[in-house]
Copies of this chain bind each other. A is one copy, B any other.
Amino acid sequence: MTGFPPPDDKLIAHPQSNYFSFPKLRWTVCHIRELLPTTRISRGIGAPDPLPYALDNGINDISFMPMGSDTQMNWRESLAANYTDGLLILHKGKIVYEYYNGCLSETGKHAAMSMTKSLTGLLAEVLVAEGKLDDEATVDSLVPELKNSAFGSATVRQVMDMTTALDYSEDYADPEADIWQYSAAASPLPKPSDYSGPEGYFEYLQTVEQNGDHGDAFGYRTVNSDALGWIIARVSGKSVANLLSERLWNPLGTEQDAYMTIDAKGTPFAGGGLSAGLRDLGRIGLLMLNKGKYKNRQLFPESVVNAIQAGGDKKAFAKAGYTTLPGGSYRSMWWIFNNANGAYAARGVHGQTIYIDPTANMVLVRFASFPNASNSKIDPTSLPLYQAVADYLMNRD
């Protein structure tokens, strides 16, 4: 949308329009709250704590070899190839590179998509470390409403690591896939008069049936994140949005409130509803890199990050067949790469990432609006790039 009011041919009409289609997507990712009801993740009202800068123009000269290519790609080409809306690189706690494009500016927010899951997983891991959540308990012991669903017999850990065995398809290409019924239930907009399905995330979750044995295989299903959101809300008495405010946005000196989309009952979308500022996700990446320490305060035990970095079940992960992530795993809703630097990441469709490289002492946050949702299409031009940046920063020192 350009100009105000935008001319009709530039209008991304809401809400019947397919606003996640490309190129509308390029506007939508910065404007979710203008399309849907949302709930705030408050930063509080204190002064933000500015991140220090040590900009390094040498980063602009980095080139790398994309996966499956025999031609080097240079820095500028990579920004375009990845439809980069924002890119922040922190090294040793300082911003060494910062870039905004498309719909994003430093005062704007961008959809985090499934990076939301990683923050939900982080909250759960924090509650586990603090003894408030038993990850070996079965879900029905914490949320009895889920007793008759597939989740009831799974452990909290299986939900956190998405090794639940669900009769549930998240194939967006299949119009009959369960994800569409899930989306319909979750919509905060008025239901069609003939709608008789579940209302909201939590009612839907109760209808998911089991298929197979929990723990056998990794299966990337967003419903796990929302089940975990329910568990977190039950254990803490707070919504995921309010807990993110209390545990992260408020104590971290963030610059901007964040927000989450919600269903018609006000439940935040723990599996994908977050929108946030680029530098604020950089702060969260730094908190992970520093194992929960912010300034001289330990916001959560080191064991939280250690547990995530250690990764999940590689065999269970391998069965899912992610060709760009050989040897990887999924733990507490973070993606663990099997690389020499021990990197791990929050990842979301269309190219969103918080990439944490403990060896290079680097956090890289990227917002993007890549036309294809699947990260398997985006990894070839991005994962080798991140490694090249890490190599550059390590060699520079």
Interface stretch, picked from A52-60, A154-162, A232-240, A359-367, is A232-240
The contact of A34 among B5, B6, B256, B266, by CB within 8 Å, is B266
Q: How far is the CB of A109 from chain B (nearest CB, A)?
A: 8
The contact of A39 among B34, B202, B237, B257, by CB within 8 Å, is B34
Number of interface residues of A (CB under 8 A): 46
Main secondary structure of the interface of A (DSSP, over half): loop
Residues in B with CB closer than 8 Å to A35 are: 37
Q: How far is the CB of A28 from chain B (nearest CB, A)?
A: 12
Q: How far is the CB of A274 from chain B (nearest CB, A)?
A: 15
Supposing A15-B188, A33-B33, A242-B4 touch, asked if A47 and B45 sit within 8 A by C-beta, the answer is no
The contact of A37 among B11, B34, B40, by CB within 8 Å, is B34
A47 to B49, CA, bound (A): 9
The contact of A188 among B14, B45, B238, by CB within 8 Å, is B14
Q: How far is the CB of A316 from chain B (nearest CB, A)?
A: 31
Which B-chain residue is minimally distant from A280 (CB atoms)? B45
A6 to B265, CA, bound (A): 8
A256 to B267, CA, bound (A): 23
Residues in B with CB closer than 8 Å to A4 are: 233, 237-239, 242
| A84 contacts partner chain B, Cβ-Cβ < 8 Å | no
Residues in chain A within 8 A of chain B (CB atoms): 1, 3-6, 11, 13-16, 33-40, 42, 44-48, 106-107, 188-190, 202, 230, 233, 237-239, 242, 255-257, 259, 262, 264-267, 277
**Interface CB pairs A-B, < 8 A, 6:** A1-B266, A4-B242, A11-B266, A34-B262, A45-B48, A47-B47
